[in-house]
Amino acid sequence: MQDFLEDYDVGRVEGRYVNGALPVLPFAAAVFDLALCSHLLFLYSSQLGKPFHLAAVREMCRVAAEVRVFPLLALGGKWSPYVDHCTEDLRGLGFDVVVQSVPYEFQRGGDQMMRIRTAGTERPQEEPCRR
């Protein structure tokens, strides 16, 4: 966080930070290797419904070869129902989707991320979901 704050003013002037908002991003298709979403999707399951989650995840997949979303819990610490909906939707579109443990935990039980890759790219080892 400190690195970001120190870099932000210069990075904004240099064009490295661009204002955008899900579910529609201001980028061409396939321009990034990696898109990250932290503490928005799934966390606010009650506030942002199923259509928003599906559109947002699809949009990140449109602009990046790999997408990572963390955490997979909704507010209150329960597994978001949209994790399964998004997984099914993306797999139906041909994406590789796995849930992986991560070595950090911001909230109790919130130590897993969704990793989505364009079909045909290297697939990480799938780990069992803990709900």
Domain range annotation of the chain:
29-131
Distances (CA, A) of 36 to 39, 63, 75, 114, 125: 10, 11, 19, 10, 19
Is pLDDT at 125 greater than 50 in this prediction?
no
Beta strand 32-38 pairing with 64-70: parallel
- pTM of the predicted model as reported, rounded to 2 decimal places: 0.83
In tens, the pLDDT along 73-108 reads 999 999 999 999 999 999 999 999 999 998 887 777
**Rounded-to-integer distance, Cα 65 and Cα 56, Å:** 15
CATH 2.30.30 fits 29-131, yes or no: no
Peptide bond into 128 cis (omega under 30): no
